[in-house]
A and B are shown apart, each in its own frame.
Chain A
């Protein structure tokens, strides 16, 4: 590692930590401003005032806010997110159980969107103003304009209810839902490991539609930004020089231009991944798939404050960490930025 790399890390990591702390401050502020009273939720409306005061004291709600903030920060750092009101389990365990499903969904969508998006961008940069270029523009425009939850609903209607091409809602059919043991939380992996015949195919049939919907969402951003970056490179002198020396258009594109936009592409992929984790919240609700999104929306309706805060913190932390690490990776890999 060069000195430069060390300097980038020394500057970047405190910023990352500061962002994470600010995120915790935001969730703490939200919980303090909320009209939801955890003590009242615990004991109900009919308890006596003395019980109420006692429960408030036990929950630490009567302390001054700097002290409560201190306790909250200390608990979050130790991974203690409280106990969910609706499941009765520690929020940390709940999240550990549901998060793999969301990661699976978002990762598959990112892989497909990444391959498709970069491919489309390269093709449209190779043949600007051609058919593919027009197609790429339409895809990216539509991908940024369609409400994903609605697209999911319509896709369910067409491909499941009418055409019977794919599985319906949920992650497995009823026959497998209670027989396949969810050990890792990644449904494809667990179905593959399961002795049940046909479980893997069933899991894939239920997974394909939500993944494709999220892919269409990812595809738009990846195509648009990678294409713009490539077109920006096309006007530079080194491209003209390489062409003058006799390199073909395809070779210039793949060997000269593409490496120069890797910083942009890396950033776009990371941002898209973070957005996919967020988009999965809505898709999981539409497709009734267990995951952090469905956990969060269920918690929202149950006014389950620890679960809401825990899920928000987890998604937020992933978001912040992905953003921060990408920034560092781009700085480290691209000598021009240093």
Chain B
């Protein structure tokens, strides 16, 4: 096996896999209905019947935690699948064609790169309307420039290599060349960056939820659960503590994965 060579990559991948399994299997894994209220048993500390306790409406926190992974991880997946292709396409086109196309595209990239991501996402969701899709769009619109820069740098180097010249001489040109020969070389570095960015996306998604701009209640979501817990944090700390720990663990896993991938890709690493 190749992965255990890097402990942090292994840890990151393992935690993320577990989280993904939890999100996919949430309806079957949750011991109780995450939105069923039981006012008589509100704000119970962790116990046998409620392993993580209950919130201010008597809902089972473990079930809410398990089901709450869905919106968070769904948002992360959505952002990743939109942001990466946009950034890579812009970077590769800019790097390969050069000239005024490159000047304009990289100008735009640098402009967007200088924008404050979280605040623009707040304004976007606040003005256009709260919700998961809008939050994802806001993060994608401000997040792609890093990939465009990476892809352009890689493409500039590639354009001068012999194997691209060989491919062109065989008659492979245009989109087929970019898709089949340039793109694959840009993916490894973009992958590391993506793992790093996903940690930030999870935190941003949680922040939006915390401010009440994410998914609508009563559907559980980790950031919103912290906000609900913040009202009772001085007396019933567990309501806010567990969802925060979940966010921290998943975000840590992304960072560890990025670290590990970087070490594995770096030939100087023994």
Contacts and interface: CB of A to CB of B under 8 A. Distances in A.
Interface of A: 15, 18-19, 22-23, 26-27, 30-31, 33-36, 141-142, 144-151, 153-154, 156-157, 161, 274, 277-278, 281-282, 285-286, 296-297, 299-301, 303, 305, 308-309, 311-312, 315-316, 319-320, 323-324
A300 B213 contact: yes
B233 A281 contact: no
Nearest to A321: B114
B185 interface: no
Contacts of A31: 127
B198 to A, nearest CB: 11
B199 A144 contact: yes
7 contacts: A26-B120, A147-B223, A149-B210, A157-B237, A296-B122, A308-B127, A316-B115
B116 A274 contact: yes
Given A141-B255, A147-B248, A323-B113, 17 more contacts: A33-B127, A141-B256, A141-B259, A144-B200, A146-B248, A147-B206, A153-B244, A154-B240, A156-B234, A278-B119, A300-B122, A300-B211, A301-B212, A308-B123, A309-B123, A312-B120, A315-B116
B205 to A, nearest CB: 10
B173 interface: no
Contact of B251 (A35, A145, A156): A145
B248 A150 contact: yes
A215 B163 CA distance: 48
Q: Report the interface size class on chain B.
A: 35 or more
Interface of B: 107, 110-120, 122-124, 126-129, 199-200, 203, 206-207, 210-213, 223, 226, 229-230, 233-234, 237, 240-241, 244, 247-248, 251-252, 254-256, 259
Contacts of B254: 145
A300 B128 CA distance: 11
Contacts of A34: 127-128
Nearest to A156: B233
Contacts of B248: 145-147, 150
Given A27-B123, A34-B128, A145 B252 contact: yes
B116 A297 contact: no
Contacts of B256: 141
Interface of B, helix, strand, loop or mixed by DSSP: helix
Contacts of A323: 113-114
A198 B211 CA distance: 34
A286 B126 contact: no
B126 A308 contact: yes
B255 A145 contact: yes
B114 A324 contact: yes
B233 A157 contact: yes
Q: Which residue of B111, B230, B234 has the most chain A CB atoms within 10 A of its CB atom?
A: B111
A83 to B, nearest CB: 17
A18 B107 CA distance: 9
A280 B120 CA distance: 14
A312 B129 CA distance: 16
A309 B124 CA distance: 10
Across the A-B interface, give the 3 residue pairs with the lowest CB-CB distance, nearest first: A150-B244, A300-B126, A145-B252
A272 B212 CA distance: 26
Contact of B118 (A141, A154, A156, A278): A278
A23 B124 CA distance: 13
A42 B114 CA distance: 35
A324 B128 CA distance: 29
Given A19-B114, A149-B207, A312 B237 contact: no
Contacts of B223: 147
B187 to A, nearest CB: 23
Contacts of B124: 30
A315 B122 CA distance: 12
Given A278-B116, A319-B116, A150 B226 contact: yes
Given A142-B252, A274-B116, A308-B123, A282 B212 contact: no
Q: Give the residue among B127, B129, B210, B211 with the most A Cβ atoms within 10 A.
A: B127
Nearest to A312: B123
B111 A315 contact: no
B244 to A, nearest CB: 4
A320 B229 CA distance: 35
B126 A145 contact: no
Contacts of A297: 122, 211
Contact of B199 (A26, A145, A319): A145
